[in-house]
Structure 1
Amino acid sequence: MKNKTMSGLFDLTGRVALVTGSSRGIGNALAKGLADAGATVVLNGISTERLEKAHQAMAADYPVGRVHSRAFDVTDAGSAAEGVAWIEQNVGPLDILVNNAGIQHRVPMLELDVKDWDRVITTDLTSAFLVGREAARHMIPRGHGKIINICSVQTDLARPTIAPYVAAKGGLRNLTRAMTAEWAASGLQINGIAPGYIHTEMTQNLVDDADFNSWILGRTPANRWGTTADLAGPTVWLASQASNFVNGQTIFVDGGMTVVV
């Protein structure tokens, strides 16, 4: 690697990044963080209406051509292949993939329908394999690429009623390791980020629940909820040349939640 200033190591100018599940929430914030670092960003979602609104809102803040969007189903192998191929042909060589798409389903295991188990596992784990594999098919011949899998504190911990989510996020950490084992020698870096409890519009109801909010504050040494801004920096780091010898790691961004009892 050529000598660079420290700020230059984090510069993503000219890099193309795909963030799955980025029409709102954490994914949208991560896409903005990458764009702020100079990347050309492709938003993704399955709802074309919501994705178009997100595209228009984000494109207004960046130069023309820096924000794109492509609706495709990350849980379908054919759609994943088509989506990545579209980016390669219409935006540019894919340098950065953030596997962020995910869902939650809260039901005790004894009452959990197998269809709901399969739906969460497919969305939260299998999609990262499908999109990650398609991205790697293009990255490996070029000898470089960054894949960032968005895990969770449930990668390491468990709570009642979210068994499929816990299983999927635990599996995602080991998928990150498996990708590293197979693709690191080709110049790829594959890592995970495990957010703690993040305050977004989708968790506002939990923040507003006095008992749950009190539990989060007491359980987190930092004594606060995380913000999407707390995740942008680690994402840019793992997407940049500053992390070129970091591989197979899952970085917990949780205010210390997973290191205390």
Structure 2
Amino acid sequence: MLLKDKVAVVYGAGGGIGGAVARAFAAEGAVVFLTGRSKAPVDIVAKDIVAAGGTAEAAEVDALDEQAVDRHLRSVTGAAGRVDISFNAVGIPNAGILGVPLTELDPERFAWPITAYTTSYFLTARLAARRMIPNRSGVIMTVTALHSRTGIPLVGGYSPAMAAKEALTRALSAELAPHGIRVVGLRPQGMPQTRTIREAFEPRAEATGMTWEQWQEFLAGRTHPRRLMTLEEMTATAAFLASDKASGMTGTTVNLTMGSLDD
């Protein structure tokens, strides 16, 4: 098992990506502490993990609330003794953000994703790092999207938000690597098994004139194998990056766009 006896905290564990990563971490032997702004969907993931023979605990935590994140991490270290992995998969509602031309988007709606995504990542990473530094070990992770590196219309402040998260990954790594802490990210393209891709499509459906099927075909057509990535492919990479086998990787965001975005 890649993550046997590791202690992992997953933020946004009630979402498609966060929940899948939590399940993958548990399957590889990690003790997983799941959080979400709403506890009900997180409970479902925790029950699935336990039913499969893993160890998981769910909690309601707002990742934009510094005190709530800190209290939860205190409870994690009290129960498990340490934090080995912090994975931020926090998302925000897309309503009013996507599908609106930049020329018609007000400053508040433009800034909201930039503020929310970067602040939640900063808070969860900083507070986890404070627990990791004494042990001189740990992995801090997040997930972004190809919007960080290429121009895409009708996504408002989402593109600069993803670019800012990747910049923060590099900055965190530069400061934390001397303390034995790695900071890495994943950049997948839309995966049909998650609701994220549909939530990204729906606000733009009218503006683009595409059907749901045409939208998926459009995205797949940009990849080298002419298909979209699966959740299983993404979570396998996440588990590897979180493991000691990826000890040489830090300060980087792994490109999982299957060629949509060339390095």
TM-score, structure 1 normalization: 0.89
2:71 pairs with one of 70, 76, 82: 82
Q: Distance between the aligned counterparts of 1:71 and 1:92, measured in 2?
A: 20
State how 1:1-261 maps to structure 2 within 5 Å. Answer: 11-63=2-54, 66-103=55-92, 104=94, 105-106=97-98, 107-202=100-195, 203-204=197-198, 206=201, 209-259=212-262
Q: Is the 8 A contact 2:18 2:89 kept in 1?
A: yes
Structure 1 segments unaligned to the other structure (5+ residues): 1-9
| CA-to-aligned-CA distance 1:58-109 (integer Å, 9 cap, x gap) | 322124xx11112111112222212222211124311001111123430222
Q: Is the 8 A contact 1:140 1:186 kept in 2?
A: yes
Shift of 1:137: 0.3
Q: Distance between the aligned counterparts of 1:112 and 1:200, measured in 2?
A: 30
SS at 1:258 equivalent: coil
| CA-to-aligned-CA distance 1:196-244 (integer Å, 9 cap, x gap) | 1211241357596132122112211111111111111211111111111
Q: Distance between the aligned counterparts of 1:113 and 1:89, measured in 2?
A: 44
Q: Per the alignment, do residues 178 and 94 of structure 1 end up closer, same or farther by CA in structure 2, a change over 3 Å counting?
A: same
Shift of 1:154: 1.2
The percent of aligned pairs where both chains have the same amino acid is: 28
SS at 1:94 equivalent: coil
Q: Distance between the aligned counterparts of 2:12 and 2:132, measured in 1?
A: 21
Q: Alpha carbon RMSD of aligned pairs, Å?
A: 1.9
AA in 2 matched with 1:209: W
Moved over 6 A (4+): none
Q: Distance between the aligned counterparts of 1:39 and 1:167, measured in 2?
A: 33
Q: Distance between the aligned counterparts of 1:86 and 1:159, measured in 2?
A: 41
